[in-house]
A = this chain, B = another copy of it.
C-alpha cells in the first residue's frame, strides 16, 4: 500500500514534470509574431527622420515650446551647458593649453597646406573658423581642431586627378573647397540621420590603423620633395613612383643646404621630444619646438641670405583674415560626381580619425562623447569652413595630445588657439617670408611617427588574424597603389570576412557540464560529457541559409551515421539528433528545406530529430513553413528537456 502510494506520488511528480515540459514547449511554439519586415523598415525610417523623437517631453506642457527650444539648443550647442560652470581656474588652464596649441598649430598648418598643394595661408585659415565652430558645437573637451596630415594627403592625392594644382591653382583650390563643402554635408547627414552613420562604421579599427600607418609613410616620402628640393615630383602617391622620382632627382640635381637644414631641425624637434618624455614638466618643450625651429631657421636664412644659395623659402603669405569663398564653390563642374565621392571618403576618414582621438581622451578623463552630435559639429564646421576659405578640418592626433598634456579643461583652448592664429594672420605673416620649406617638411616628418603604430598592429595580429589581414590590406594598398585602393581593399576584406564568418558551415557537438543542466561545446569545455544515445549539435554560425545549410546537413548526417568508437564503451549508436538552434538568428528557405531533408534522412535511418531553443525569427518561419508540425512537435526550450523527452519516449517504446 505504502509503496504503491510512493509509486503514485512518483507518477504524479513525473506527470507534473511532463506537463511543465509540455507547457514550456508550447511557449516556444506559440510565441507571438515578430514584427514584419515592413514594420521594422518603417520603425527605422521613423527613427531616422525623427532621431530626437523622444527628446521633446516638454511639448505636452504649457509653455513647452520655450523649454523645447532651450533643450534643442542645449543639445545642438553644448557650450551653453559647460560655459555656465566656467571659472577663472579653467580659463587659466585653457589659456595656457591654447597658447601651447597655437605654437604647434601655426607651423603644422602651414606645412599641411603645402602638403595639400594649397598656399600656406589656407592652412592658417583652417585653424581659425573650424575650431571656433567646434568649440560651440562639439562634445569633446580635449580634441584640437585644424588641418591634419592624412586628410591633406587625401586631398593632394585625389583632387589633382581632376585639376592640376600647378597649372591651374585657382581651379584646384575651388575643387578643394567644394570637396570640403561636400565632406561637411556628408558629416552633418551622418549625424542627423543616424542610419547613414553605418557608412562611418565601414572602416574598422584595424583598417584605420593600417591606413593611417601607410598614409604616414606616404606623407613622409612626399616630404622628400621639400627636403631634397625636387622640381619635377610625381603626382602619384605610391611608394614605387615616389622612390623613382626621388632617385631620378637625386641623380639629377639636389641642393644639400635644404637637406642639412631640414635634418638639423628634425633632429632638434625629436631631441626635445625625448627630453619632454624624460621630464614631464618640460611638456611645453616638444610642443613649442616646431615654432622655435621656425623662428630660428627663419632668422638664420634672413641673416645669411641663404635663399640666394638655393635654400627654398615660403616667400609671400597673404596677410589678413579668412576671405569669403562661397563664390568659389563649383557645383556646375563636370567632375562634380568625383568631387562628391572624394568628399564622402574624406568625410568618413576625418570623422573616424577625430572620433578615435576624442574617445580615447574622453575615456581617460571619464566623460562621454556624443557620437551623433560630434558628426553634426564636424559637418557644420566644414560647411562653414568651405564658405570661408578653409579646407577639411578635423581632430589632430598630435595636437590633441599636446592640448591634453598642457592641461586643457574645455573646448575654450580651441578658441584661444583660433584667436592666436587670427592675430598671427593679421600681424606676423610677413615675418614668415624667409621661413625655409625644409623646416616645414621637418615639422611634418616629426609628427608622423605618432601615426605609425606597430604595437597596435602587433596587438591586432595577436588577437584577431583576420582583422590583421584587413590592417595590412589597407597598409599595403595605400603604400603600393593609392589611398583609394587601400581603403577599398580594407572595406572589401572586412565584408568578405563577415560573410565567411557568417556562413561558416561549422558544427559543434554539445555535452552536459557535470553537475548542471547546461550543455556546452565539448571542445570548449573538455569536462562536458557527451550523451551516449543523443547526438547534440549546434551550428557554428548565426545563419542557416543557402550558403551553408546543405553542408551542415551533410555534416550532421555523416556524424550521425558514422559509428563513433568510444575507447571505453565500444561503439556508440545515436538514437536522437538534437539540433540546438540558440545560435541561429535567422533561417531562409534553403535552410528550412535542408532541415526537412535532414529529418527525412534521419527518419529513414531510424533516428529522430529534435530542435531546441529556436529564436524568434526562426520559430516564426518554421511555423509558417509548417515545419514544427512536420517535426511531430519535437521542439523544446532547452537541450536538457529535449534529451529527457526524446530518450524517455524511446525507452518507453522499448
Q: What residues of chain A have their CB less than 8 Å away from a CB belonging to chain B?
A: 20, 24, 27, 31-32, 34, 36-37, 197-198, 201-207, 359, 363, 366-368, 371, 459-460, 462-467, 494-495, 497-499, 501-504, 513, 515-516, 518, 521, 523-527, 540-543, 545-551, 554, 557, 582-583, 585-586, 588-590, 592-593, 596-597, 600-601, 604, 615-616, 619, 621, 624-625, 637-638
Whether B601 pairs with A368 at a CB distance below 8 angstroms is: yes
Q: Check B524 against A31 for contact (C-beta < 8 Å).
A: yes
Contacts of A547 in B (CB 8 A): 198, 201-202, 204, 494, 498
Question: Are the C-beta atoms of A527 and B27 separated by less than 8 Å?
Answer: yes
Is the pair B363, A494 in contact by a Cβ cutoff of 8 Å?
Answer: no
CB distance from A225 to the nearest CB of B (A): 35
Contact indicator B31/A525 (Cβ below 8 Å): yes
Nearest-neighbour CB distance to chain B for A167, whole angstroms, equals 40
Among candidates B463, B546, B585, residue contacting A501 with C-beta atoms closer than 8 Å: B585
Q: Name 15 interchain pairs, CB-CB below 8 A, sorted by A.
A: A20-B515, A24-B516, A31-B525, A198-B547, A201-B546, A203-B546, A204-B589, A463-B621, A464-B588, A498-B502, A498-B503, A501-B542, A502-B502, A524-B616, A542-B583
A604 to B24, CA, bound (A): 40
Given A201-B548, A359-B597, decide whether A37 and B465 contact each other with a Cβ distance below 8 A. yes
Name the residue of chain B whose CB is nearest to the CB of A209.
Answer: B589
Query: Complex Cα distance A207/B521, Å?
Result: 34
Given contacts A27-B527, A545-B498, A616-B523, contact A463 B198 (CB under 8 A): no
Partner pick for A495 among B366, B499, B582, CB 8 A cutoff = B499
Residues in B whose Cβ lies below 8 Å from that of A206: 546, 588-590
Contacts of A201 in B (CB 8 A): 546-551, 590
Which among A202, A363, A460, A542 has the greatest number of chain B C-beta atoms within 10 A? A542
In the assembled complex, the CB of A41 is this many whole angstroms from the nearest CB of chain B, namely: 10
Residue of B nearest to A637 (CB): B518
Complex CA gap A630/B360 in Å reads: 16
Flag if B583 contacts A585 (CB, 8 Å).
yes
Question: Please, which residues of chain B bring their CB within 8 A of the CB of A466?
Answer: 37, 588
